[in-house]
Amino acid sequence: MSATNTDVPSMRAHALPTPVPAGDYDACPVTSLMRRVGDKWTLLVLSLLGRRPYRYNELHRAVEGISQRMLTRTLRTLEADGLVARTVFPSVPPSVEYRLTPLGESLLVPLSALADWAVRHQPSSTPLGVRPLGDNG
């Protein structure tokens, strides 16, 4: 293969496709996507924007715990990836709206399937922070 390796087809139901050349992991769109969605806040932001458009500070409050730095970084990356659209309204005070692009919405479909698997099969399987019992005290 090497240069002609354009496969990585649609991969059938149960096994990921090609034995991936490795070293090209960077260029593999699959791993690339995972690494992005796999960061600390992206999935969270994506899930919020999946419900409706948000303004910057609105997101900042909703994703309570995120720093301005990371919120901005996350949004900028999503924008660069074409998943989120940023619209500035030159009002006073200024307001900026973030919303999913059609591409972003389309991503939520397979993402939902994965999320569904996660809540069903995952580790201690306590959905959203409801630990089994005193983990801390």
Q: Which is nearer to DNA, 76 or 106 (CB)?
A: 76
Using the rule CB under 7 A, is 48 a contact of DNA? no
User: CA quadruple 105, 122, 20, 40: dihedral positive or negative?
Assistant: positive
Token pair belonging to 44: 């969270």
Binds 93: which of DNA, a copy of itself, none (CB < 5-8 Å by kind): DNA
Site of tokens 């992991």: 25
Contact 78, 84 (CB under 8 A): yes
| Residues 66-95 contacting DNA, CB under 7 A | 66-70, 72, 75-76, 86, 93-95
Distance, first Cα to last Cα, the chain: 56
Q: Is 58 in the site for DNA (CB under 7 A)?
A: yes
Of 13-21, 56-64, 114-122, 128-136, the segment contacting DNA by CB under 7 A is 56-64
Rounded to the nearest 5°, which phi and psi values hold at 34? -60, -45
- In the complex, minimum distance from the CB of residue 107 to a copy of itself, in angstroms, rounded to a whole number: 6
Sequence letter at residue 98: Y
Which option in a copy of itself, DNA, none does residue 125 bind, with CB closer than 5 to 8 A by kind? a copy of itself
Regarding 57 and contact with DNA (CB under 7 A), the answer is: yes
Peptide linkage before 19 cis (omega within 30 of 0): no
Query: Binding residues for DNA, per CB under 7 A?
Result: 39-41, 55-58, 65-70, 72, 75-76, 86, 93-96
